Amino acid sequence: MRWLFVFLLFISPQLHALVVCYDEEANPAVNSIEPFGESVIAVVGGTGWDPQTSTLPRVTFDGYRWQAVDRVTATVHEVREPDFRRCRANIPLPKLTAAEAKGLREWRYEPDEYEQHATACVEVDGVWYFGLGFYDGEGITGVGGLGRYDPTSGVLEIRRPELLRNVSVTAIAHHQGDFLIGTASLGECAGLIPALGMMHYDWQTDRLRPVGGFPGFVIHDLLSHQGSVWVASDLGLSRGQKVEFGYGWDHWTHTGDPEHPMQWETQRDLYTRLLQTLSHEHIPAGDSPYGQFVEHLRALQPKVGVAVMDKVLQQMRDELAFCRAAGDGDKAKTSKQPGVD
């Protein structure tokens, strides 16, 4: 039944549109990031898609500015639901039994099958570190987590931090001793559903915590390169560098201008712009792009999100008050005209 559902998603654009959970088509998304010599090259998704040519732009960064490289073929499915980089290492994961799964999670229903797949991985000194993921729906579910596999000794270790048990890992990177991981939920619909955003994991202390200052909700790709960690997400492309108490971030989004394809934005400026420009029109069987953004902004960035939303609402109130005052002034002028009672 599950494979029939997936097959129908690919062959029926109409059905696909009916089951979109989180649509990134209206977002300033970046689908992937790769090393490019001493620099990086990225595939822009979301608003970068050209429906006339069915292509997405590729851009590169020379350390000072972004340049357009070329365009790659893409489908609307790939724009709405960017795939994440799946682990290609041969990791011999054991089958997750019902007893093991039930001991780790509370279930809303009784599944027929329990999954765990190595959905993302990174090699560190000959050892593979990986994240676990699973499809959650139609009688199938699983338990998330992290693992380590040494192909030389054959030793496999799986860890299940409580926060990760209900979600899937979409990306993992090892950067200057840190493990950074992206998370999402894989459900009965198109689109990776935002879960915990990006997390930092300390393998030595088994501690998991959110990464502060990072604007994206869904992580598509992670890359440690030339002293920086790069993140491709649903809300653009970020470059992080370690500071004393975490990471400092630069963030860019696509402009649509071939001469200047990416613009630098602060987290607050990006959120403000999206609150002012995203459509309020509902997608089929789903919330509007604006509604989706607000929902996940409140869930994943409550402190920054509330401050930005309050600021935007106050600007709207001020503009409304100005318009009303201007309208009252025009009425007053009209009432003083000769011959007007």
pLDDT at 83 over 50: yes
Which residues are CB-contacts of 153 (< 8 A; sequence separation ≥ 6)? Answer: none
DSSP 278: S
* pLDDT(332) > 80: no
Bridge-based pairing of strands 228-233 and 145-150 is unpaired
pLDDT above 70 covers what percent of the chain? 88
For the segment 23-31, the average pLDDT, to the nearest whole number, is: 93
Largest CA distance in the chain: 99
pLDDT single digits (tens) 91-147: 999 999 988 998 898 776 788 899 999 999 999 999 999 999 999 888 899 999 999
CA–CA separation, 295 vs 28, rounded Å?
Answer: 17
Residue type, 259: E
Checking if the pLDDT of 272 tops 90, the result is yes
Specify the pTM.
0.86
Predicted confidence (pLDDT) per residue in 216-237, tens digit:
999 999 999 999 999 999 999 9
pLDDT for 315: 77
d(CA 51, CA 256): 13
Bridge-based pairing of strands 140-142 and 113-115 is parallel
Q: If DSSP states are collapsed to H, E and C, what string results for 132-199? A: EECECECCEEECCEEEEEECCCCEEEEECCHHHCCCEEEEEEEECCEEEEEEEEECCCECCEEEEEEE
* Model pLDDT, residue 117: 94
Q: What is the pLDDT of residue 159?
A: 97
Tokens of 133: 């993921």
pLDDT tens figures, 287-309: 889 999 999 999 999 889 888 98
Whether the Cβ atoms of residue 134 and residue 117 lie closer than 8 Å to each other: yes
The per-residue pLDDT for range 46-78, each reduced to its tens digit, is 999 999 999 999 999 988 899 999 999 998 888
Under the banding of pLDDT at 50, 70 and 90, the label for residue 12 is very low
Task: List the domain boundaries for the chain.
Answer: 2-265, 267-341
Question: Between vectors from CA 327 to CA 325 and to CA 331, what angle results, nearest 5°?
Answer: 115
Taking only the tens place, the pLDDT of each residue in 201-210 is 999 999 999 9
**Share above pLDDT 90 across residues of the chain, in percent, rounded to a whole number:** 62
Q: Give the distance, in angstroms, between the CA of residue 93 and the centroid of all CA atoms in the same chain.
A: 27
pLDDT of residue 341: 39
